[in-house]
Amino acid sequence: MADQKHHSVAFKYLIIATFLLFNLVGFSGAAPRGSTGAKQSQGQWQLLLHNSGVVAMHMALTHDNTVLMFDQTGSGRSGYRLRERRNGRRCTGSRDDLEDSSCYAHSVEYDISRNRIRPLRLFTDPWCSSGSFMSNGTLLQIGGYGTGSRSIRYFRPCGNHLCDWRQSRRSLSSDRWYATNNILPGHDRVIVVGGRGVFNYEFVPKRTPREGSFDLPFLRRTYDRSEGGNNLYPFLHLSSDGNLFIFANRDSILFNFRQHRVVKTFPRIPGAGSRNYPSSGSSVILPLNHSDRFQKVEVMVCGGAASGAYRAAEEGRYLKGLTSCGRMVITGNRHKWNMENMPGPRLLNDMLILPTGHVLIINGAKRGCAGWDNARNASFQPYLYRPDSRVGRRFSVLKSTRIARMYHSTAIILPDGRVLVAGSNPNSRYTFRNVAYPTELRLQAFLPPYLDRQYHPYRPINVTVHYDHAHGENGVRYGEEFTVSFWLGRRPSDVVEFNVYSPPFTTHSVSMNQRMLKLRGKSIVRAEDGRVSAVVEAPPSPIVAPPGYYMLTVVNGDIPSMSQWVRFIHAA
């Protein structure tokens, strides 16, 4: 057995710094699940940077422990000057250069361990685009606005942090502005669905040079022209049967993308209002579990805008958003939306699966809809949702931020368990005064309750993933075993979980490809000095977990460790 080598030296320093930050103390016992008898924490907020330089309209965590953040290229001057414009001419600082957006960076790479920003160059406009990570950790970034609407871009993280965006010579078949994409179980193939005025889907890469787009009548039926669409950025989730769940406006289908046919049409989610852009609610697929061989698949949709919200906002009236959430099992033969209410109305919200398997609802507004200056009443309080609790006891309200995170804000989970929160710009250009919600460049981290100091005695530390390199492969094959070692106090909790998480590409309240699996721990052996060795079983197939990098977290009675990267690969 050999240790996994994917995390960088810088990230090792992050491990040390994080636990110094949290004032780590000695380990002494096992965590009772759900409570320690201490006062329940509501979490904490940290201000990381006063100025990120670029609005984080789009955000994604790489396996190199950096975060990509980028904005539209036509938003005006950002915080980072470039030496050359797109046509290769030098940016001189003249008045024309000050008005030329291409003389400024509109993408940055954030180094988590160093808390530093590095500017990057984009060649086409990624405004309202989509993204998926390939099996080698490269971000495949698709579509956008204008010259970027058919663009394909790549960013491959590198240890020396000198890498930058690459533009593909190939183009998409259709314009993809406000489209969603999803990684497929095969070898690095992505499906791209929808877009403004586009009612079809396509694949990247193409199987043949002549392959184009494929019509999807479901998108045409769910399109609401008078309300800005309300089916843009459709929610996509890969089901355990290999089909694709597609939700748009209020309706949803199960789609066989191999045979280009609808397998199921699900019931309409109850209630008025809409869920997709510009109504902009959010969605997750709840964690899949080894206990049923990952076969039960349940989706959850929360928030959105009231009927007529788009037209009302254009007239300066901001309608109250939706409070409802719906859950539905999409596998099996019986399908029904089970509805419940959040503590308050919410739209423009992000939904993230925490390392514990709980769901965090963060960012957004209480009134209006998406679009320039179309929302009011910022949602400052995150909501925590516990899927396995009783109805009526699933939601709790966490600590408020003081920074409004409105249209074009994002949030992602970091390996140390914090939530990185950035962005917000309901203005067509960078605007810092005389508007309801100025452009926001501050970078924050939210520390969920499980990072509170009172839980340190129960937190697994020094987590290491061990691969079997007998086959010369840098990853774990599907269905095979691998070893996870960590250190814990006297004994583990009665409930120790090994959760793996696929970090999403996040934009416009959509976390594309977000996915968590609760893996089977086949054995756990603890030595007298507190060292623990566990044998864990990898997912059975790429349908359950598409190939690539996942964050593995050891969860001891709802208290998570710092995550480490694990890679799932096809057999050679």
Residue 465, in any domain of the structure: yes
Nearest residue to 249 (alpha-carbon basis) of 271, 289, 276: 276
Residue 185, in any domain of the structure: no
Residue 497, in any domain of the structure: yes
Q: Are 346 and 309 in contact (CB under 8 A)?
A: no
Strand partners, 320: 367
211 is written with which tokens?
């392959």
Q: Per residue in 298-312, pLDDT tens?
A: 999 999 999 999 999
123 is written with which tokens?
């060649």
Q: Are 17 and 543 in contact (CB under 8 A)?
A: no
Using 50, 70 and 90 to split pLDDT, how confident is the model at 444?
Answer: very high
Q: Per residue in 452-472, pLDDT tens?
A: 999 999 999 999 999 876 555
Strand partners, 238: 244
pTM above 0.85, yes or no: yes
Cis omega (within 30 of 0) for bond into 278? yes
35, pLDDT greater than 50: no
Residue with token string 């930058």: 164
Residue 347, in any domain of the structure: no
Domain of 536?
A: 2-37+454-569
Residue 278, in any domain of the structure: no
503, pLDDT greater than 70: yes
Residue 84, in any domain of the structure: no
Strand partners, 130: 142
Would you state the pLDDT for residue 5? 41
Residue 505, in any domain of the structure: yes
276 is written with which tokens?
């997709």
Decide: residue 277, CB within 10 A, 0-12 exposed, 13-18 middle, 19+ buried. buried
162, pLDDT greater than 60: yes
21, pLDDT greater than 70: no
Q: Per residue in 98-146, pLDDT tens?
A: 667 888 999 999 999 999 999 999 999 999 999 999 999 999 999 999 9
Q: Per residue in 51-64, pLDDT tens?
A: 999 999 999 999 99
CATH at residue 491? 2.60.40.10
Q: Dihedral angle at the C-alpha atoms of 71, 72, 77, 80, nearest 10 degrees? A: 40
Residue 504, in any domain of the structure: yes
Using 50, 70 and 90 to split pLDDT, how confident is the model at 217?
Answer: very high
**What whole-number distance in Å separates Cα of residue 466 and Cα of residue 566?**
9
**What whole-number distance in Å separates Cα of residue 418 and Cα of residue 360?**
11
**Domains contained in the chain, number:** 1
Q: Dihedral angle at the C-alpha atoms of 550, 556, 559, 560, nearest 10 degrees? A: -20
